[in-house]
Amino acid sequence: MMSAADHHIHPHPHADDHHAVGHHDGDHGSHGSMRDYLIGFFLSVILTAIPFWLVMTGAIADKQATALVIMAFAIVQIVVHMIYFLHMNTKAENGWTVMALIFTIIIVVIALSGSLWVMYHLNHNMMPMSHDMGQLP
């Protein structure tokens, strides 16, 4: 058993280890280079400028189509940010970051679709019909 004095002499068996928690020998490639950050930056600027241009010039006459195009650009931009800035890939953390992302997406889709379904049916079932409006007091 080590005394308090021995603990100060030999603080921790791995005290000289230069690897921080969570960093392993195979994870050196998970951090981006300056080139990766610049690619991500320029893609982000382009994916922001194109929807801005679409809205400001009215290039697409249909507002719903414009909204769908902007949402598609937003989804692509989310993927660009996850890859180039958050360094999410199947190699980082042995794929657990991608698994956590997939799980999160599934939970969000279930919550959103369930909420929309409930709100639609509440609106449909609880609102009075137009022919019943004359019978209301």
Structure confidence by residue, pLDDT tens digits, 52-109 = 999 999 999 999 999 999 999 999 999 999 889 988 888 878 888 888 889 999 999 9
* Angstrom distance (rounded) from CA 93 to CA 99: 10
- The CA–CA distances, whole Å, from 48 to 42, 67, 68 equal 10, 14, 15
pLDDT at residue 27, as a whole number: 47
What is the average pLDDT across 7-28?
50
* Angstrom distance (rounded) from CA 101 to CA 79: 11
Yes or no: say if 128 and 136 are a contact pair by the CB < 8 Å rule.
yes
Pseudo-torsion of CA 116, 55, 75, 65, nearest 10°? 60
pLDDT at residue 19, as a whole number: 45
